[in-house]
Structure 1
Amino acid sequence: MKKIKVLIVDDSALMRSLLTEMVSLAPDLEVVGAAPDAPTAREMIKVLNPDVLTLDVQMPKMDGIEFLSRLMRLRPMPVVMVSAYTQAGSETTLKALEIGAVDFIGKPQAVGGRTMEDYAEELIEKLRAAGGARIRRQPVVQPGGSDSLVQVKPASVGRVSGAMSGKIIFVGASTGGTEAIKEFLCGIPADCPPILIVQHMPEAFTASFARRLDGLCAPKVLESKGGERVEPGTVYIAPGHSHMQIRKGASGFMTELLQTPPVNRHRPAVDVLFDSAASCVGKNAIGVLLTGMGKDGAQGLLRMRQAGARTFGQDEATCVVYGMPREAFLIGGVEEQAPLDDLARKVLQAATR
């Protein structure tokens, strides 16, 4: 069995030791080195040729964002960011994902009530997924340069008349999903049907993610607080602490947040959202499953299709990790697969029929 070679990059000796110990628990992963800073990491990459990097954000000599920017320009490879779950940390991590990092995980001391065993399991799972991820070359955000997080909101790119179509769009994503959702929404006009989205993400990140998308995309994007009336021209992002579902209220459809246990090990879970779409919206729903590892959303998308909804999956060639869409496709939940850059057009066509 060929092992996935991992290089740990962190300025803390304790953190390097802890992460090395955790990664070494997996028989299919091998820590080939541990670097205290970016210059050392650069030389170790040349010699050791790792498959995956874990990368700290705050480091001496060169911070993680600048190093990542240079790495993705000169030697693109899968990177999992190790970030503090803070407001500042969430903004920096989203920038790292925009530059090209595959995924992220919090510092071990920031995992709250979770055990170190749980943390190690999540870290190993993310590194495995990163080892098989497709690295998409994309424009590099230069540190200190133009920051797409604060771009001016674009004008509408066409008219769909979300108020008249009666359709509601439901989207699920995981690994690679932050950039996939951005690309999908950037192809959606301001007067779109309502869109509800679950992206697997900790609660410290979803508000920043919604603000980022709101500045980039034509529709209004917000983190759901629960109880909002579902309206055209608005995108609702599930908060990282709760499941989100849709329900029928006296004056129309409403969002609802649930603190029920995780589903498929996730809260929010895509299946919870998709199941509510199948039961409450039926044939007027459109389901979209984007890049991500695991199976979350597959069964829910199948139930949506069985309820008469149109269903779409991102194709293998454009997924960072072809896991969730693949599982949905294999069980018949996906009516049509499409590349990421064509999904918005296909979904909008379905919304007008």
Structure 2
Amino acid sequence: MEKIKVIAVDDSALIRNLLTKIINSQPDMEMVATAPDPLIARDLIIKHNPDVITLDIEMPKMDGLEFLERIMRLRPTPVVMVSTLTQRNADVTFRSLELGAVDFVTKPKLDISQGMIDYANDITDKIRAAHASRYRLRRLTNRVDPNEVRAAVADAIDKKQTGLALGNRFAATEKLVLIGSSTGGTEALRAILTELPKDMPAIMITQHMPAGFTKSFADRLNQLCQITVKEAEQGERVLPGHAYIAPGDKHLQLARSGANYICHLKDGEPVNRHKPSVEVLFKSGTEISARNIIGIMLTGMGKDGAVAMAEMKKAGAYNICQDEASSVVFGMPREAIALGAADEVLPLNQIAKHLVDYLSKIGGRAAVRV
């Protein structure tokens, strides 16, 4: 078996050594080189032609974001960003995903513990996902023009303030949209949510993401969308025109309080090695109100949520899966499709329109008390 060739770029010798130990302990990958800064990394990348690069955000001589832009322009390679948990680094991390990085991990704590074992599993899974990604097919098509982003923000704010949505077609329904995603999901979610009108039914989202980043992610999306996007809070009502993102250290579940839908945050063990887990969200949808659910499975490695999505469909939900060609990694949608969970398999750029069209057709069938 040909091993995945990895280069780590990080100014910390301790981190470089730790990543080398983790990666070289895996049977299917090897660390072919490490570099303390991008200038040294440039020559090593040319020499070794790695399959995946891990890239620190804060480094001397050239920061990770600037180096990533150069990699994407001159030598496109799957990149996993390594980010310290700060507000600034959260913003930069999401910008790196917009520029083409496949995924990110947080900087590890340098101790030997069960947490380190979990970290090793996390980063090696992300390296495998990056290697398996469709990055070379999408090339630089996901790069974002800053002027377009500023225009989208201004337009979204204007529509929120003036109420320029597409009417109130969905306000009289109990319909809910549940979305699961992982590798590549941050950009897939942005592509879908920014296309939705402000009168959408409520949306609940589980995106595999570390604690500390989900609020920044929600805030970033909220600036771009007509709907209100926020990190979910325990016990809050699930309202139309809102999207609720699972916090990075809690499972998100749909629950009821009297006649109202609410968010329930569960602090339990990882499910399918993930916390938050798509399986947990989709299972709660089956238990609470499957016939009112539209389930969506987006890009991601593994099979988290596939079984629950199939159960949700059997109970009456309508499900959409992202297709292989538009997925960064086709693992999660593929597993759901294989189990017969999908009513539709669609490219990413058609999901939002199909969702709105479907809701328009069935919009008035179920009364809601709000």
Same fold per superposition (TM over 0.5): yes
Q: State the match for 1:41 in structure 2.
A: 41
Which SS does the other structure have where 1:163 is aligned?
coil
C-alpha separation between the residues in 2 aligned to 1:349 and 1:110? 50
What displacement does 1:112 show?
Answer: 11
Over residues 157-203 of structure 1, what are the superposed CA-to-partner deviations in whole Å (9 max), with x where a residue is unaligned? 63462212331100000111111000011121111111110111112
Question: What letter corresponds to residue 250 of structure 2 in structure 1?
Answer: S
Q: State the match for 1:197 in structure 2.
A: 205
Q: State the match for 2:141 in structure 1.
A: 138
Question: What letter corresponds to residue 154 of structure 2 in structure 1?
Answer: V
Q: State the match for 2:166 in structure 1.
A: 158
Which SS does the other structure have where 2:236 is aligned?
coil
Question: What letter corresponds to residue 292 of structure 1 in structure 2?
Answer: G
Q: Return 129-138 or 149-158, whichever deviates more.
A: 149-158
C-alpha separation between the residues in 2 aligned to 1:226 and 1:111? 32
Question: What letter corresponds to residue 181 of structure 1 in structure 2?
Answer: L
C-alpha separation between the residues in 2 aligned to 1:332 and 1:347? 19
Which SS does the other structure have where 2:55 is aligned?
strand
The answer to whether the 8 A contact 1:99-1:138 is kept is no
Question: What letter corresponds to residue 153 of structure 2 in structure 1?
Answer: Q
Q: Return 148-157 or 306-315, whichever deviates more.
A: 148-157
Matched, 1:128 2:128: yes
Corresponding residue to 1:308 among 304, 316, 321:
316
Over residues 247-296 of structure 1, what are the superposed CA-to-partner deviations in whole Å (9 max), with x where a residue is unaligned? 12224211111112221111111111111111211211100000011111
Q: State the match for 1:181 in structure 2.
A: 189
What displacement does 1:152 show?
Answer: 2.7
C-alpha separation between the residues in 2 aligned to 1:245 and 1:158? 29
The answer to whether the 8 A contact 1:69-1:140 is kept is no
Corresponding residue to 1:234 among 242, 249, 258:
242
Which SS does the other structure have where 1:190 is aligned?
coil
Corresponding residue to 1:209 among 198, 206, 217:
217
The answer to whether the 8 A contact 2:321-2:345 is kept is yes
Q: State the match for 1:267 in structure 2.
A: 275
Question: What letter corresponds to residue 338 of structure 2 in structure 1?
Answer: L
Q: State the match for 2:55 in structure 1.
A: 55
Structure 2, unaligned stretches of length 5 or more? 363-370
Question: What letter corresponds to residue 138 of structure 1 in structure 2?
Answer: T
C-alpha separation between the residues in 2 aligned to 1:55 and 1:11? 10
C-alpha separation between the residues in 2 aligned to 1:138 and 1:65? 18
Q: Return 193-202 or 133-142, whichever deviates more.
A: 133-142
The answer to whether the 8 A contact 1:269-1:296 is kept is yes
Over residues 60-89 of structure 1, what are the superposed CA-to-partner deviations in whole Å (9 max), with x where a residue is unaligned? 111000111121122221000111122222
C-alpha separation between the residues in 2 aligned to 1:239 and 1:291? 19
TM-score, normalising length from structure 2? 0.90
C-alpha separation between the residues in 2 aligned to 1:56 and 1:95? 14
| Aligned-CA RMSD value | 2.0
C-alpha separation between the residues in 2 aligned to 1:115 and 1:139? 34
C-alpha separation between the residues in 1 aligned to 2:148 and 2:83? 20
Distance 1:110 1:166, change over 3 A: farther
Identity %: 47
C-alpha separation between the residues in 2 aligned to 1:350 and 1:240? 30
C-alpha separation between the residues in 2 aligned to 1:62 and 1:50? 20
Structure 1, unaligned stretches of length 5 or more? none
Which SS does the other structure have where 2:129 is aligned?
helix
Q: State the match for 1:224 in structure 2.
A: 232
Matched, 1:319 2:327: yes
Q: State the match for 1:29 in structure 2.
A: 29
Matched, 1:68 2:71: no
C-alpha separation between the residues in 2 aligned to 1:280 and 1:111? 42
Q: State the match for 2:297 in structure 1.
A: 289
The answer to whether the 8 A contact 2:299-2:329 is kept is yes
C-alpha separation between the residues in 2 aligned to 1:53 and 1:18? 15
Q: State the match for 1:119 in structure 2.
A: 119
Q: State the match for 1:97 in structure 2.
A: 97
Q: State the match for 2:11 in structure 1.
A: 11
Corresponding residue to 2:344 among 309, 332, 336:
336
What displacement does 1:117 show?
Answer: 2.4
Q: State the match for 2:366 in structure 1.
A: none
TM-score, normalising length from structure 1? 0.94
Distance 1:216 1:112, change over 3 A: farther
Matched, 1:255 2:256: no
Which SS does the other structure have where 2:213 is aligned?
helix
The answer to whether the 8 A contact 2:106-2:210 is kept is no
What displacement does 1:349 show?
Answer: 2.1
C-alpha separation between the residues in 2 aligned to 1:34 and 1:211? 34
The answer to whether the 8 A contact 1:219-1:234 is kept is yes
Q: Return 98-107 or 208-217, whichever deviates more.
A: 98-107
Q: Return 258-267 or 208-217, whichever deviates more.
A: 258-267
Which SS does the other structure have where 1:266 is aligned?
coil
Over residues 76-131 of structure 1, what are the superposed CA-to-partner deviations in whole Å (9 max), with x where a residue is unaligned? 21000111122222222111111111111111117997432222222111111111
Which SS does the other structure have where 2:270 is aligned?
coil
